[in-house]
Amino acid sequence: MQARPPRISRRRLLQATGGGVLAASAGAGVWAWLAPEDLLTRSAQGARTGRSVAAAPDPAFLHVIAHADDGLYFMNPDLEQSVRSGGRSVTVCLTGGESDGHNVGEETLDPASVPQDRAAFSRARVNGLRAAHAVMATGAPDSPWDIEAVSLLPGFQVEVQTLRAAPQNQLIFLGLVEARAVWAPRATSLRGLWLGASDTLPTLRAAGTPVQWPFHYTREQVVRTLVAVLERVSPSVVRTLDPNAVHEPHQPEGGPDFRPAGTDPRLAGLRYYDHQDHTASAYFVQAALARYWGRAHRRPTLVESYLGYEVAALPAGLDTAAARRKGDLLSVYGWADNRDCGDPAGCGDRKVGGSAFSGGSSGWTRSTRLRAPGSNAWIRPARDGRLVAFAVLDGRACCWTETAAGSGSFGGPVTVGGELLQGQIQVVRHPNGTLQLFACRTVLPGRNAAHRRELMTARQRGTSADGSPAFARWESLGSPDPDPAKSLEMGFPAAVAARNGTVHVFVRTWDGGIACRSGPHGTRWGLWRRLTGPVGSPSASPQVVDGLDACLDSKGLVHLVAPAPGTVHHWVSKKAGALPQPAAATGLPEAGGPVSVVALGNGAVRVTYRRPDTAQVLIADWRRPAGAWRVTARCTVVGGHGRVAAAPVGRGDRMVLAVRDAAGEVRVAMAQEGPRPWQRGKVPHSGAAGVAVDAEGRAVVVALGHDGRLYAARQRAAGKSGRFVGWRAQAGSSERAADGGAA
């Protein structure tokens, strides 16, 4: 019999990862602290650009969910890969998920015949979640957990469960009362607390919890509790639900002003695809991260946010094997095997049961999508030929620069500014070789600011002493939808620089269209303009799904592509450098995720993306003079999800591809007259990989590891048969000072 590992105190395990209990700050309000002017002051005085960023070698993961099954539905397979990695993995569940208190499945003809017991149903969901996590970590649903009430905030307790066989895995339950409705306005909810419609939100003590009393949390106390968790876990990766949910096309009568009589007007608003608890939970995490990043902490953090219910309205993004695995774990959570866990409250969530893969919620099982679709342009050559890669750490842009052109090693990262940035950086290279950065950021609500998102840009203003790029202060380009609530739905940027120096940047609008701002040499920006709708686009929103890309072809024409229900849309300019216009319907198959486009020779362009249901990478070309699209290749299936990174290499139609595979690691392939075999790089990573060509003509692939470090590999020699070697973490560099960079 295998020896049992030594028992580790849950309190010791929490304290070992970050220190003592947070001191209370009497009278401090989250809205006051989050005011943008405070962030400006802190950015200018205490977070200069040019500072080196130290990464820790071992990744740690923090997942924050609203309900017990959220991570299983929306964060898997990434969640399971993190649990199985051996790194620290902590999941915080904010609500008790008590619903109507009837733990019954779809097969029950009369749910009301089962006694209502919200405390028992909440405990059954806890039991189901820990069984699913135990399966992910050990393979056994009945692997024991140690349970304890822990004080993360003075005067409050939370339930902490630690997996005895793998104590780096923990579950934390706050037990806040859930909204008990997907979108109907209710003051007693996370959303009501966030909006100020309720001063406090009570907890519901699950049956059998070691937590001794019910509590009432203010919004400030929820934020401070999450900060306390961040300080203890010191995560390198934070995963949240979707903070930027998309509204449904068919609104209830009354539209955004809908609310039952007597409801607080602050709860009025559009009906969204996602659950209101999901969205509000992500807001609270953003507020906690903003505060956490404003303090000294051990290592930088990258953030991934996952779409919730909206994935059911989009093409299935996972292959069948990955979707079935999600369904199997949800069946464990749903108590489909009727196992006896020894708890009279129940051993799982009968509402999920065993129908997660084939039942009404199967659309959530068949996809995993990040809100930020990733960038196909986050590594670019500087003017002197050295490659520069950019990423978001601690909500700020950072860069790694090759030590010499073609050297194969990078120095960095160093910060280049920005605040509360999301997703991956989009980099444009101007005709003169200078670089310009684009990213989205969230402005949290403050005394004089509405909660909104805006597009940000920073232009290279020169080089530092070692030749690395230095950037001017970040500038806001606003949003095509000035209404703050609508701006929260703005997509992520795709940008291109024309030969005459004009820069065009494109984003998805809140109503499913495309908007653009243009500026000569990336300055003196014009007003937002809406592009004419694509040929053959459907009338229902979302007409265009986020995941755009743009490129400049060899003739100087601007191409823009976007995934949409049923197909991929294409815009192309009629003359060099001009705004693109709708092209003929592509006739291309539907995309299961973002679409990437690169320029080939003789005015041709190529798109790469994943097919629904299989995650297979498809390659299609658009060539002159016919100007028609044709699928030219289908790659060997390797699973995974997310954007396909692509870049042209050398002459002709040679190209390098990089994707995330079924294990969450990098796969690389060359393509010329058809894809070559995939080469495996064992690098679990965040977002999309990046691809470029170095000064020696060799293809280079980079990925941002879960430990916050840049990993890179390049061909041993240029050419279509050159194998990729390296895949090592890039060394850091010493601190250097620079001016500017405040958001």
Interval 491-513 mean pLDDT: 97
Mean pLDDT highest for which of 340-344, 361-365, 445-449?
340-344
Read off the pLDDT of residues 249-261 as tens digits, 9 standing for 90 and up: 888 776 666 667 7
Interval 524-538 mean pLDDT: 86
Query: Binning pLDDT at 50, 70 and 90, where does residue 24 land?
Result: very low
392 and 301, same structural domain? no
Domain count, the chain: 2
509 and 405, same structural domain? yes
564 vs 545: CA distance, rounded Å: 5
Query: Binning pLDDT at 50, 70 and 90, where does residue 740 land?
Result: very low
What is residue 235's predicted lDDT score, i.e. its pLDDT? Answer: 97
Query: What's the Cα-to-Cα distance from 116 to each of 99, 122, 179, 209, 684, rounded to whole Å?
Result: 10, 11, 17, 18, 44
Interval 624-629 mean pLDDT: 90
Position 45 in a domain = no
* 685-693 sheet: strands from edge to edge: 685-693, 699-705, 710-715, 724-729
Q: What percent of the chain has pLDDT over 70?
A: 88
Query: Binning pLDDT at 50, 70 and 90, where does residue 57 land?
Result: low
Q: What is the 3-state secondary structure (H, E, C) of 251-280?
A: CCCCHHHCCCCCCCHHHCCCCECCCHHHHH
Query: What's the Cα-to-Cα distance from 11 to each of 8, 137, 147, 254, 467, rounded to whole Å?
Result: 9, 21, 11, 50, 48
Position 633 in a domain = yes
Position 170 in a domain = yes
- CATH number, residue 516: 2.120.10.10
531 and 422, same structural domain? yes
Phi, psi of 714, rounded to the nearest 5 degrees? -145, 165
Position 640 in a domain = yes
What is residue 536's predicted lDDT score, i.e. its pLDDT? Answer: 61
151 and 18, same structural domain? yes
Read off the pLDDT of residues 576-622 as tens digits, 9 standing for 90 and up: 999 999 999 999 999 999 999 999 999 999 999 999 999 999 999 99
Strand partners, 191: none
What is residue 106's predicted lDDT score, i.e. its pLDDT? Answer: 73
| 524 pLDDT above the threshold of 70 | yes
431 and 527, same structural domain? yes
Domain hosting residue 125, numbered range: 10-22+56-107+115-248+270-306
586 and 488, same structural domain? yes
Position 215 in a domain = yes
386 and 302, same structural domain? no
In sequence order, the 6+-apart residues with CB closer than 8 A to the CB of 289 are: 230, 238, 301, 303, 395
519 and 404, same structural domain? yes
Position 428 in a domain = yes
Strand ranges for 3-69 from DSSP E: 60-65
Position 285 in a domain = yes
* Three-class DSSP category at 322: helix
What is residue 10's predicted lDDT score, i.e. its pLDDT? Answer: 36
Query: Binning pLDDT at 50, 70 and 90, where does residue 54 land?
Result: low
- CATH number, residue 177: 3.40.50
Phi, psi of 293, rounded to the nearest 5 degrees? -70, -20
472 and 567, same structural domain? yes
Position 1 in a domain = no
583 and 712, same structural domain? yes
